[in-house]
Amino acid sequence: MTFDVHTLFLVTIYVEAILGLLLLFVWAQNMALRAVCWWGFAHMVRLVSIGLFSMYGAVPNLISIDLANALLFTAFAVTWTGARVFDGRPVEPVYLVTGAVVWLLICRLPILAEDLNLRALIASGIITGYTWLTAYEFWRGRDEPLVSRWPAIILLFTHGALFLLRTPVVALLPSLVSDSLFSSVWMTVLSFEALLLTISDAFILLAMAKERTELRHRTAAMVDPLTGVANRRSFLQDAALIAKRHIGNPRPTAVLLIDLDHFKSINDRFGHAVGDSSPFSQRPHASRCGGRI
């Protein structure tokens, strides 16, 4: 089964619009999620790019190919920047437009003006580069216990690899098979692959942002912000869990309590700010000191 190219473009435009608006809506509800804003904006830029691609033949190639590709590369660069923002790294404005600038300069070279396969391979390489950079940014922050981080890394790496292989596969296809129907089916599969991976990427990135928010709320409820150790709520929760396990598998259990004598007098005399800055208050047992309760 094959689909008309314009139908595929129309479906992709609708999907990009929905995903972009969804991510921007989530960001509007919690503006602390700056990375989600970047990811939503990336989908909107990609929407414009695909719209220009769909105008091929009706407008000059400078618009429907060169400018459309430049915007597409910028969209992937914005996604990568969102990954950097997600893990607290600085925005690199120069790299946001590097792919687009390189592409526009390459398009002016006479040697590449007529070589469509080479231009397509360069375009796929730029997209793959940004996609793998996004996966690398998430991999760098792997110490944060986010389960959804790993599916995002795998999916982005796969997406980049398929993009990179698309051009040589299509270039070799005529020499491998002569059935034009198979060729059109293969192109349909490639198009749907890109669309499905785009949808999957958006939902996994959204899941990462949601998981981080829940993790921070859970940490705030269970961990003392001054010392970074478990608080009373966490102690009671862990104690209940240990008691439940003890019923099925009785084992010796011990509780160790440590306190600082007369630490309350420091808070009473100099104030809690001084008590919090004391070397003693930075130790794990400080959350149980009399001056803190």
pLDDT tens for each residue of 3-13: 566 777 788 88
Last residue of a domain, one of 222, 237, 260: 222
Mean pLDDT of 109-132: 83
Same domain for 82 and 163?
yes
Same domain for 40 and 185?
yes
**How far is residue 103's CA from residue 118's CA, in Å, rounded to a whole number?**
12
Is the separation of the CB atoms in 271 and 265 below 8 Å? no
Q: What is the pTM of this model?
A: 0.75
Same domain for 132 and 244?
no
Same domain for 88 and 21?
yes
**How far is residue 82's CA from residue 104's CA, in Å, rounded to a whole number?**
24
Last residue of a domain, one of 197, 222, 247: 222
Same domain for 250 and 171?
no
Mean pLDDT of 72-97: 94
**How far is residue 223's CA from residue 235's CA, in Å, rounded to a whole number?**
10
Same domain for 62 and 206?
yes
pLDDT at 278 over 70: no
pLDDT at 27 over 50: yes
Last residue of a domain, one of 222, 252, 285: 222
Same domain for 191 and 262?
no
Domain range for 254: 228-293
Same domain for 285 and 232?
yes
Tell me what pLDDT residue 261 has.
72
Tell me what pLDDT residue 154 has.
93
Same domain for 103 and 198?
yes
Mean pLDDT of 72-78: 95
Same domain for 217 and 287?
no
* Predicted confidence band of residue 181 (pLDDT cuts 50, 70, 90): very low
Instruction: Encode pLDDT of 50-67 as tens digits.
Output: 888 888 888 888 888 889
Q: What average pLDDT does the chain have?
A: 80
Tell me what pLDDT residue 251 has.
80
Higher pLDDT, 94 or 195: 94
**How far is residue 129's CA from residue 73's CA, in Å, rounded to a whole number?**
10
Same domain for 75 and 217?
yes
- Number of domains making up the chain: 2
* Predicted confidence band of residue 283 (pLDDT cuts 50, 70, 90): very low
Same domain for 105 and 164?
yes
Tell me what pLDDT residue 169 has.
62
Mean pLDDT of 107-121: 76
Tell me what pLDDT residue 188 has.
58
pLDDT at 45 over 60: yes
pLDDT at 290 over 60: no
| 36-50: burial string, b at 16+ Cβ within 10 Å, e else | bbbbbbbbbbbbbbb
